[in-house]
Structure 1
């Protein structure tokens, strides 16, 4: 832990004692940062997958006829594709909301970690 405190002190240009005092705060902020960053990464991945799935089902949906002309009933294939389309679109909306929310929450829950990242990177 002392080596870590010395590196933090060098990075932030503070005393080693101040770095030791800041360690619990930085550790908890780093934990929040990692959790929210992982959630954000998975949300973006789900967003791209749902965009592709929404696009494919949308093209299939446009290609199928909604009504069967002979029986005047709704086509079962269209209903199945429509269900998948609605679920994929809902997943797209949900993943966009989660990605935006986690991007907005990270600076509030881990401000010191973002400050250190900006100094180093």
Structure 2
């Protein structure tokens, strides 16, 4: 959760200036937020291979490759946390390519591992 708190705070500060335009904001919600990527990404391999709620969603080979990618992903996130900007973009792509793509490539629902993604890209019909 980098963006929602920052955007909410910016709206709050701008509303305090009262320059005519205000945005009525009573609260915000983060659905399935990435609040601690350094910790969360570490668990993607195990969740995809040995979830307690769904069958294995990646092969043993993919699982081992994902595990091997965790240290590099975590290091990339640490660089992002120190510097921001381009290191964050690099971390995002590095971690997702190695730790999310093996699962995502199977057209599975990222919000419910028991299901296929029936309505890509968000998996639900919002019409």
More helix by proportion, 1 or 2? 1
TM-score range, shorter chain: under 0.3
TM-score, normalised relative to structure 2: 0.25
TM-score, normalised relative to structure 1: 0.25
Higher normalized contact order (CA 8 Å, seq sep 6+, divided by chain length)? 1
